[in-house]
Each structure stands twice: as C-alpha cells, then as structure tokens.
C-alpha cells in the first residue's frame, strides 16, 4: 500500500485511534492483514533482535478452538472485573454515564469474542530471563499494528484476555515455553467510528527538570477534549 492510499495522516491517526470493541461481521482481507503485520514488523526492538512473532487466529480448526478458549477466559475475567471495579454500582448503573457505556461495550466485546474477524497473539521470543524491560521489544509492534489498522479503515484493541487460559492455549497452539504471549489483539471493521480520543491535559502529564514541575510549552492543540480518568495529577 502506498502512502497516498492511506486514509489518515500519521499524527491524525495517533490522535484518533480508539480502542475498538464492536466489529462489523465482515472479514479482514489478507492484503490488509499483511499490511498491518508488515507495519508491526517495522517496530524497534532491543539490540534490533526483532524477537516479535505474530500468531494469527482466523478460521482454522485450532484457531477456532483457541478463540473459544480465550472467549471463555474473557467472560470469566470481565465478570470479576465488573464487581472489583464497581461497574455494577454508582454511576455504572446509569446508562448515560461514561462508566456505563464502557461496561456495555466491554460486555458486548466478551459476549461476541468468538465472532471477532481476526485475533492476533503478539509474542516475544525470549533470549534472556524475563525482565521488566522486555515489553519494550514487543509493545511498540502492537501499537504499529493498531495504527496501521486505523490507517486502513479497520480498528482493534489490545487486551490480556488470554491470561486466564494461557496454559491450555499454549498446549493447543504449541507455543514454546520461552515465548512470552504479550497480549490478545482483536481486529476488524469498526461498527462505530474512530475519532479524537480523550486523555488528561498535556500540562498534567509533562514535567521538566523535576517531578511535578510543569511547563509553559506543553499545551494541547486547540479544541482538544479531556477526560478525568487516570491517576491523580500529583500523587
């Protein structure tokens, strides 16, 4: 795909790539999937070892079994999260609130997980013992994949739904012990649309010369909308 065919520019794509959890019932073309994975493969990695691998689950027999496994784990985890994070209490019980809308999107996502057009398991082939920095060699590839999906008119979301069923998933897909499954990425054509994401104000997220020391130059573009979600500005 040539740059002229992209539907959005790079900076616009970064600012408007939402987490997509509702998908149309249409396949992702192999050409589009190859383009997304090529973008993922261009990501940086420690010592340029390129330890990332991408296990694609579509409609093969083991893929369908793996989807069912992950879907089961997703529903179990979401049921627990509803209680632990209070989605069934307070503002979560009023359908017009952001919390309730998030809960509805998540419930739909896990209930229909098996019908998501494409699932990708981004993996890291370890060449040393697990360490806190190893995610730096796989998560940039995940973001590249999601940005490429956005550019092609698709969408996706990075989750950890595989974790509850990981032992069974490894056996089913014959994933070696030395491979870290970094996430579960759902991909497809969005039911809704992408659009400007809401984050905390830049002035609350950027410090200079010391923790909590704000700047005069780190300001959001005109018209930026914000969210109250996230940690306190100055914990």
**CA atoms of 23 and 112, how far apart (whole Å):** 9
55: tokens are 């296990």
Asked whether residue 6 carries a pLDDT value surpassing 50, the answer given is no
For 42, other C-beta atoms within 10 Å of its C-beta total 12
- Residue 169 backbone dihedrals phi, psi, to 5 degrees: -65, -40
DSSP string for 13-71: HHHH-PBP--B-S-PPPHHHHHHHHHHHHTS--GGG---EEEEEESSSHHHHHHHHHHH
Asked whether residue 234 carries a pLDDT value surpassing 60, the answer given is no
- Tell me what the pLDDT averaged over the chain comes to: 91
The hierarchical CATH code for the domain 3-197 is 3.40.109.10
**So where are the chain's domains?**
3-197, 199-230
Kindly give the interhelix angle for 98-111 and 61-84, rounded to the nearest 10 degrees.
150
Arithmetic mean of pLDDT, 44-68: 95
Arithmetic mean of pLDDT, 138-155: 96
Predicted local confidence at residue 233, as pLDDT: 58
Which of 54, 55, 47, 56 shows the shortest CA–CA distance to 134?
A: 47
Asked whether residue 3 carries a pLDDT value surpassing 80, the answer given is no
Query: Is 0.85 topped by the overall pTM?
Result: yes
């Amino acid at each position: 795909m040539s740059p002229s065919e992209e539907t959005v520019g790079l900076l616009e794509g970064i600012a408007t790539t939402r987490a997509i959890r509702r998908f149309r019932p249409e396949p992702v073309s192999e050409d589009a999937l190859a383009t997304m994975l090529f973008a993922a493969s261009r990501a940086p990695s420690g010592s340029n070892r390129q330890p990332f691998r991408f296990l694609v689950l579509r409609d093969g027999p083991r893929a369908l079994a793996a989807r069912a496994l992950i879907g089961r784990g997703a529903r179990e985890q979401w049921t627990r999260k509803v209680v632990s994070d209070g989605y069934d209490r307070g503002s979560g019980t009023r359908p017009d609130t952001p919390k309730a809308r998030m809960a509805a999107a998540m419930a739909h996502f896990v209930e229909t997980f098996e019908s998501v057009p494409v699932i990708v398991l981004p993996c890291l082939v370890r060449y040393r013992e697990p360490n806190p920095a190893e995610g730096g060699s796989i998560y940039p590839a995940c973001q590249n994949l999601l940005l490429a999906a956005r550019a092609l008119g698709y969408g996706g979301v990075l989750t950890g739904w595989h974790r509850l069923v990981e032992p069974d998933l490894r056996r089913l897909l014959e994933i070696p012990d030395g491979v870290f499954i970094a996430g579960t990425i759902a991909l497809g054509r969005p039911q809704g649309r992408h659009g400007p994401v809401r984050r905390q104000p830049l002035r609350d997220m950027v410090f200079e010369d010391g923790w909590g020391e704000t700047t005069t130059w780190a300001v959001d573009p005109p018209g930026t909308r914000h969210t109250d979600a996230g940690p306190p500005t100055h914990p």
